[in-house]
Structure 1
Amino acid sequence: MDAVRGPLPEAVTIGVIGAERFIHRIAAVAREETRTPYRLVTGAADREVDARERAMRLVGDVDVLLFSGPLSYDEAISDGPLPVPATFVPTGGVALPTALLRGALTGAVDPARVSIDSAPERDVRETYAELGVSMDDVHVLEYRESVTAEQFLAFHREHYDAGRTSGAITTVPWLAEQLSEAGVPNITMAPAVMTLRATLRTARLLGSGARLEDSRIAIVIVRLPDSALPNRTSSSNYWYQELMLSLHRALLHDARRMDAAVLQRDENSYLVITTMGSLRSGTDDLARAPFLASIRSALSLDAGVGIGLGMTTLEAEENAQAAVNLAEASSGELAYLVGPHGNPVPLPESQENPAPEPEPVADRQAEVLQEIIGLLDASGDDSRVVDADRVSRLQGVTLRTARRTLRALVDAGLAWPMPPARVQKAGRPAVRYQLLDERLIT
């Protein structure tokens, strides 16, 4: 075991588990941090099945464990929980286009004829759509807890041996070695430096939370409503990506004050990881909900916000999941906090506005959308893009009523909130909405 040591103010030691190549990369990223240096203890595990054995060797010397990916993490906890908090480097993200570019430049694989493991299929489809490359001969096997490295290997070999692919892109170093021995050209999709930085910060926060009672782990799940997801392949996906970026910026506004890490959790939610002490300072001692005001101001959209507390990462995330489910049942007007004892606590956006307002039913919103579409058609406008001022003038109602109408259409899945236009004038820019009249048919 080798270690990288520095005068870390919180005295948090991170145990890093993974292949030698991963350990060298994470150590190089950690060395770049000079303001609050990291203290790392490493345990090399070339095979994911060895991850638990390596981790158990380190648990007495570390405050938190950091695994190279979800596969090694799940292998490590398959025989029971670990004695210290643990996290892993997420797959996908900007690592995929980098791997595709490297494959094209080196000629190792043809990005148009390739098999890809671990990365979420949605990420792959969006990446190929942006590149303008067909996915007809691209095969994806997402990571699931039940998937093993051997299944990944069989997946890649089957497609290559059948002549359907030119090679493979994998996130598992051991798998890359096996593919090379089998004569299958391959590229290893390594996590980007920015992903490693964020994961190191998350590990530090988790380790701090485990050491200090006042800094118990606090995990916040912020989830967009299902109505905000695009239901077809079209330009709507562009607005969805812009919406997720706008949500990320809104979360960072509050997260910085709580010294929190913000990571994308899945296609419509983010994970915010902080400590109980930081959460208290950022919410006036839990007098108001975090993020609700920022999200509504930036996106004119209600998102579900659930906060989970726990002594372990798993406990905190399970409580956060229960909390966000309760928040969505309140139509996004309240956030919920669930602690170790499971008693939910509602948190309003502010003390001045504690109660949610009832939302109109979906059938009524379909009628409203039909009315607005009819008024737009009568005026010769077929763009299906409006803002509150436009709806106010069309329907002859106040701006306040128009804004509530548009928000209700979004909640019913009949409108798409678009990021505010960047205009060079004072005041809050108007939020535009794409009306989804095609959803009236379904």
Structure 2
Amino acid sequence: MTIGVIGPHEVVERVMLMGPGSTGPLNARLIAAAYRDEQEATDKVLRLGSAIDAYLFASPVPYEFARKAGVLTMPATYVPLGGASLHEALLRATLDERFEPTRASLDVLGRSDVVEAYSEVDLPVDGIHVHEELTSTSQLTSFHEGLWRRKVTKMAITCVRGVAERLEAIGVPTMRLRPTNAGVRSALQTAGLLGAHHRLEEAQLGVVIVDVPTLRDSTRRSTPRYWRDELRLALQRLLLQEAHRINATAHPVDDHTFMVTATRGSLVSATEGFRQPPFVERIKAELGIAIEVGIGMGRTTQDAETHARAALSRAQATRQSFAVDREGRSLVPAQRAPQRQQTPEPLRTKGRETLLRLSEKIAEEEGPLVVDAENAGRMLGVTPRTARRLLRTLVEEGLAWPLPPNRTLQPGRPRQLYRLIVEKIDKDKASR
């Protein structure tokens, strides 16, 4: 297990010298990421990358900068500066005649924590002023300086290094809160526990059920057996490639369903944190067909598969959530449903008009959904050359899938067959 330690050089050095034993029974490796200014914490998180199981920040200040920047992808904690750290600062202030802690301004800490710490050492709180929100260094400096210049306070207690340096430069008596050794050890143990829990959660079993509507049996239309076999093999080959990429396994379940077995950690990376269904875009781009996906977590493969099938049914019914955890609760909803509602797919493109005309002719003749340029030209009333161009347009719009050319002993170019995906037209009609 690896813990990234982010903070100023002096605090990071203290943490590193404490060693892995400070995390209790957990065996952890510490990686140092020291900075000169708290606002560099975001860059340090990005530099550490995904090799970290948990982050430990030197104080709530760099943690808040990283959290607000949205770069925390792993569990994180920080060394608290309230409690023992504030008690230490108050003790140092009472022993130094330059400071008067009963008339002080404080930042970042919560007012309730400050009042509690003052009460525990029997100091009055009437003359203290607290700025709880973490803002820019200049704003926090103005807060302390303004109170001091108006003689409302006689000292400043800050959690931010840059604020302490600016206040000292203009002559404001300043005390900077520092983490205690006990606080560092406690935070290290917390980081170790967070990292261990994250590893266990990432190793949780996950199952993806991939359903292919195009391969389902239909009483209205029949498709050639060889075409279904070709598509199934192409789809299985593509899923095996995707599964290998995320260290998972894939195998067919029946004629129109596949199962991918992976860990939660692998699925998080493949779905952008369960925000996008996996495999959908690549299959659509390379095979020109739509798939439906359900993801489930569980303690066993059977539990995960049950939850995956429930997620698939839910996704088919609501077009929103496609993944559930091991308790059956929805994870982050998919983003494709709102996109589909906000920007509906155009119904009057050239390709869709061509597909609609072909599907009507095929329905009249009760013919197969596989055509070539000659048959398409006859049904559309155009030359084979024009029909070939129209069929290529269908492929570009994902409305047809080119089949492998027939091998014949006759000279000349073999016929190029196309499978028409008329299911797209059916969905358009159903949505009207």
Between structure 1 and structure 2, the one with the greater Rg is: 2
Where is the helix percentage greater, Structure 1 or Structure 2?
2
TM tier relative to shorter chain: 0.3 to 0.5
TM-score for both structures, normalised by structure 1: 0.43
